[in-house]
Structure 1
Amino acid sequence: MLEKTIRLVIPDWQAGDNPVYELGAKVLKAIAPENKNQKTITVKTVHSTKPQKMENGVRGQSAILKNLKNTKEVILKEKPDSIITFGGNCLVSQQPISYLNGIYGEKMGVIWIDAHPDISTPDVYYNEHAMVVGNLLHCGDSVIQKEVNHPLKPNQIYYAGLQEVTPAEKDLLSQAGVEYKIEESHELDPAEVRKWIKKNNFEYLYIHLDVDVMDPSPSVFYATYFNNPELKKIPENAVRGKIEREAIWRYIGDLSNEFDLAGFTIAEYLPWSAKQMLDLMKMTSIF
């Protein structure tokens, strides 16, 4: 068990261009098990209700940059040994992973549990949350990746639950030198990740969970991008996850009991029913 663990609540929605990400971070903070030894800090993020502008091929890049700088400032002030992160979209893992990689270096492996590789660039896609792994490898958004002071090496990334990648993503993964496998099953095989951990002599793990790795059927896990009541068109790179919820829970639980977790992120949690209830409250004059 690492000595000092903090909880970061990062309600960044700009990198995914959906304000419901902010609500997701608040809900995760509210439902997380209490632990008086873990300080909870909500990172100040840009608050705006205006449509985001395109900047250098990215929606809301200046706001995203401000959010990242605020996150880095909090982490450097606290100097934790491990970090729990509640997002927000997938970009919320960027600063925690960069910081912890500066501490543990090649002793730390990152398990990216996600249906998508998040390896894009502004030439490929316009939402920053699809670029976070590229940024961590210093081959993503040339502006945003400057905030990564301690970039990862390709062997430090392990994809779990990855679904079919686009041709552009396939090229970017090849250029970055990141190995991957498309997950055909509805389960995750812990034996495979254990082999990777042993091969690389990792002593610490950072687990990033993007909830859209799961089957979005209401009976499995509803609070994902694909169940947005207002969703009209699914982008080419937004392939659906298909992993069973129980399989994800077992996978993460088992790894957390076997290895030291330097960090854990829950990202892309989109509580649509909570959003609908919030809309009701905003329309009711007693509030």
Structure 2
Amino acid sequence: MSKTLRLNIPQWQGGDMPAYHFGAQLLAWLAPQASGPVENVDVRCVETSDLENENGIVGRSEIIPQLQQTRELIDKHQPDSLVILGGDCLVDLVPFAYLHEKYGHELGILWVDAHPDIMTSQEFEHSHASVLRVLMGEGDADLTQFVQKPISSDQVMYAGVNEENDYEANFLAQRQMRICRPEEIHSQISSIQQWIKEQGIKYLAIHLDLDVLSIADFGSLLFTKPDAAEDEFAGIAQGKLTMADVVKVTALASAQAKVVGMGITEHLPWDSLRLKQMLEKLPLLGNA
């Protein structure tokens, strides 16, 4: 009988957004009950970020121990499959690296995201935007140390990526990386099946960044931040999928290969967070 380990990792430092901590906790509460072991990675909770850029990466000294603890918990259980509930996108680094060690080139990574996550610290100081690049064995040495067996570009398929910046577009073109665009997802998908067949993929790790969803369909996302400046998200691609689209993509992929990894990240339930903060100020409930 296969064993699935569920990891709750409320990491927020990779995106320098403390609200990811609460978002991950609520995500873990909302998720169906686990049928196997559950482990929690220790992440400190704050309301306001106090992180600094440490040699190119914001919050480096907190992120690395969290990644180390993640690997220790995985090694403790040696699972056949993993569910990861985060936190920022970097939470999938160590689990997906482990799965690639276990399943080798028969593993494919389906990256369901509005963004390709292939930056390095030279391009962007927030490490959640570098996770897939690190899985390829490239980037900051403190991060690549967790990748014993780098993934190759032909083992990766994007779903939902759109409106990349110039750096991202050039990288994806140079590596000839495959993308199932929102337009294809809205109609008849064929590229995902073709990728799985051509690459001989038998196992899948699926990364789901909730920002692949359109804010018209789901509001608990970075782009609905209540106090955001008018131009805060200028030039940053926003998701174009619906929840039905995400279910469609994952169902189609899981019919073609066995899913051994499922990571869900970047849940930002702003209204629930504001309500939580209000409740803490009321008589008999909080410190009022």
The alignment's TM-score, normalised by the length of structure 1, stands at: 0.92
Alignment of 1:1-287 (within 5 A): 3-35=2-34, 37-47=35-45, 50-174=49-173, 177-181=175-179, 183=181, 185=183, 187=186, 189-217=188-216, 220-232=217-229, 233-235=231-233, 238-287=236-285
CA distance in 2, matches of 1:272, 1:189: 34
Distance 1:237 1:88, change over 3 A: farther
Change in 2 beyond 3 A, CA 1:169/1:268: same
Q: Distance in 1 between matches of 2:28 and 2:22?
A: 10
Secondary structure of 1:195's aligned partner: helix
Number of equivalenced pairs: 282
- Distance in 1 (CA, whole Å) between partners of 2:86 and 2:188 is 26
Matches of 2:156 and 2:49, distance apart in 1? 36
The answer to which of 56-65 and 164-173 deviates more is 164-173
RMSD, matched Cα:
1.9
**Residues in 2 aligned to 1:99 and 1:189: alpha-carbon distance in whole angstroms:** 33
The superposition leaves residues 167-197 of structure 1 with CA deviations (integer Å, 9 ceiling, x where unpaired) of: 122333355x251347251627542101000
1:245 CA drift (Å): 2.0
Distance 1:188 1:38 in 2: 36
Answer whether contact 1:119 1:131 (CA < 8 A) is retained. yes
Q: Which runs of 5+ in 1 are unaligned?
A: none
Q: Per-residue deviation at 1:200?
A: 0.4
Query: Structure 2 counterpart of 1:246, which letter?
Result: A
Structure 2 counterpart SS, 1:241: coil
The separation in 1 between residues aligned to 2:246 and 2:252, in whole angstroms, is 10
Q: Distance in 1 between matches of 2:38 and 2:187?
A: 31
Query: Residues 238 and 133 (structure 1 numbering): CA distance in 2 closer, same or farther, change over 3 Å?
Result: same
CA deviations on 1:111-156 (whole Å, 9 max, x unpaired) are 0001101000111111110000111011233321222222211111
Distance in 2, matches of 1:213 and 1:286, equals: 40
Cα distance in 1 between the residues matched to 2:149 and 2:214 = 33
Change (3 A) 1:64 1:272: same
Q: Given the superposition, is the C-alpha separation of residues 27 and 50 from structure 1 closer, same or farther in structure 2, using an over 3 Å criterion?
A: closer
Structure 1 vs Structure 2: percent identity of aligned residues? 32
Hey, what's the Cα distance between the residues in 2 that align with 1:193 and 1:182? 7
Amino acid at match of 1:264: M
> For residues 7-47 of structure 1, what are the alpha-carbon distances to aligned partners after superposition, in whole Å with 9 as ceiling and x for unaligned?
10000000011111111111121111124x32111111244
TM-score (norm 2): 0.92
What secondary structure, in the 3-state scheme, does the structure 2 residue paired with 1:86 have? Answer: strand
In structure 1, give the amino acid aligned to 2:162.
Q
Deviation at 1:201, TM superposition (A): 0.5
What letter corresponds to residue 62 of structure 2 in structure 1? A
Alignment gaps of 5+ in structure 2:
none
Distance 1:162 1:79 in 2: 32
Residue 111 of structure 1: SS of its match in structure 2?
A: strand
Question: Secondary structure, in 3 states, of the residue corresponding to 1:147?
Answer: coil
**Alpha-carbon distance in structure 2 between the residues aligned to 1:31 and 1:63:** 27
Letter in 1 for 2:203: Y
